[in-house]
Amino acid sequence: MPKSVFRFLSRQPDWVELENEHYVLRLPRYQDFNQWHKLRAASRQFLEPWEPTWRRDELTEGSYRARVIRGKQEYASGQAIPLLLFHKQGMTLLGGITIGYIRRGAAQSCMIGYWMGEAYAGQGHMFAALQLVIPYIFAGLELHRIEAACIPDNARSIRLLEKAGFQREGYLRGYLKINGHWHDHVMFSLLATDTDKGRITDSR
């Protein structure tokens, strides 16, 4: 079970951290800018086809600081939890995963989105991140449903979700504006009842 210092339904600390022997997931900090800038800049062509259009100031320090502030505000309000993924050895930044659109009441659900630096893609890091995030969502946040949407051509992301136990639910027309164009998406979901106390295993 991942270590969590987040208590969503009670008093919230100023930070959240999930970790195991090899990885750490935590909220972004100002001092992460250099690593974040280097990784995002080097991975731009790799990431742009799957993300909203990058702004002109996307990689500036000011834009990053605004991103950190917004992330803290969203976390404090219970709307979203943006996390950066680090390899524990050397605390090397690998990518990020966001628990977003957190809904309480009758829904008890969220949506996840993620990105990986090009140099680290396809090496199992994001699957490892999901092994930390999924139990946290179900046991820590006490949510019932996780959603994830993928562009149909994003075969790598679809394989990741299927490997993690997500089920394909449907096809959403013109769902999100990605890289300047409205794209259809495939919707996937995972329910708390689909897992063994939130644990996921490699089903290959």
Which has more pLDDT, 195 or 177? 177
pLDDT for the residue numbered 199: 52
pLDDT for the residue numbered 37: 98
Q: Where are the alpha helices (DSSP H) in 25-154?
A: 33-42, 44-47, 61-77, 125-135
Distance CA 22, CA 85 (A): 11
93: left (phi over 0), alpha (psi -120 to 50) or beta: beta
What is the value of pTM for the model shown? 0.88
Helix (H, G, I), strand (E, B) or coil at 192: helix
- 3 pLDDT band (50/70/90 cuts)? very low
pLDDT digits (tens, 9 = 90+) for 61-103: 999 999 999 999 999 999 999 999 999 999 999 999 999 999 9
Angle at 140 between CA 191 and CA 94, to 5 degrees: 85
Distances in whole angstroms, Cα of residue 6 to Cα of each of 99, 122, 129, 171? 13, 29, 17, 34
Residue 39 has pLDDT above 50, yes or no: yes
Q: What is the DSSP annotation of 135-164?
A: HIIIIIS--SEEEEEE-TT-HHHHHHHHHT
In contact, 150 and 158? CB cutoff 8 Å:
yes
